[in-house]
Amino acid sequence: MERTLALIGFGEAGATFAEAAGWESAALAYDVNPARRPAMVEAGVVASATPDSALAPASLVLSLVTADSALPAARDYAGLLAPGALFCDMNSVAPDTKRAAAHAIEAAGAHYVDVAVLAPVHPARLKVPLLVSGPQAAAAEAALREVGFVNVRVVGDEVGRASAIKMIRSVMVKGVEALTAEMMLAATKAGVVDEVLASLDASEKTSSWFDRAPYNIERMVTHGLRRAAEMEESAKTLVSLGVEPLMTLGTVGRQRQQAGQPIAFEPQTLENTSREPAE
């Protein structure tokens, strides 16, 4: 690898990429937590004590910090970047957050790149899907491939486009996880886990999301009011089991809205639902 690479943030993602790629001394790393420096040494990269020592020589920077630190990191370190350096923001944040970070980076004379990481870094490592957008997306794709990433795709020249795909996709991915937790908490308390899971297996149909998405929307438009009423009863069931129906109440509102009615479900309607079995 000919170019000099800097990693800002050396948590799971940074360590995984560095170990998989074998960047060694061609990569410099900095993390605000000095306890991460031994991990940098173990991965073979240069452990930098200050952000400027990592960033000054780098033509490619990977920002791999926590979501709440993504914008502050861009603002704090923009002035330390080499002129023309590619600053790849790989953090999972909203498009507006990335656009604000881009403003800081570009004002300092470097180039901002919106990068969305579409899967866990384990076990994919350097094969993890990366979506890239922004005015310098093509240059960033080439640079990322040069340092070892093999699954990189440009999705546009607008900062925020890659992150929009990631964030909107997460509505489904993380939402299903939350729904699963809500379902399993209730099923466990009711003692019906096996039956519920068996029923789901029996009804599961595999189809493309290009078919499923419009079908699901049409069902809500046509039957949303009836389904909202059913989900209100599901919410009452969860309350009776001592499970707060956070996701289920959201389903009630969205079903009603898609059917053309305002979201008017009042949680108070659950207050009179007894937590004790009916006599």
Q: Domain extents for the chain?
A: 5-159, 166-270
pLDDT of residue 124: 95
Q: Residue 127's CB: how many other CB atoms inside 10 A?
A: 14
Structure tokens at 79: 């002035």
Domain 166-270 has CATH 1.10.3470: no
- pTM strictly above 0.75: yes
Share of the chain above pLDDT 90, in %: 78
pLDDT of residue 216: 86
SS3 label, residue 136:
coil
pLDDT bin (cut points 50, 70, 90) of residue 213 is confident
For 128-165, the pLDDT digits (tens) are 999 999 999 999 999 999 999 999 999 999 999 999 99
Q: Which residues of 13-36 are buried (b: 16+ CB within 10 A; e: fewer)?
A: bbbbbbebbebeebbbbbbeeeeb
Round to whole Å and give the CA distance between 164 and 224: 27
Residue 190: is its pLDDT beyond 80? yes
pLDDT of residue 162: 96
pLDDT of residue 266: 53
Q: What is the largest CA-CA distance in the chain?
A: 76
pLDDT of residue 215: 86
Residue 47: is its pLDDT beyond 90? yes
Residue 278: is its pLDDT beyond 70? no
Looking at the domain that runs over 5-159, which CATH code has it been given?
3.40.50.720
Comparing 202 with 262, the larger pLDDT belongs to 202
- What integer is the mean pLDDT of 86-96? 96
Residue 125: is its pLDDT beyond 50? yes
Residue 268: is its pLDDT beyond 80? no
pLDDT of residue 250: 92
Can you tell me which residue has the tokens 């690898």? 1
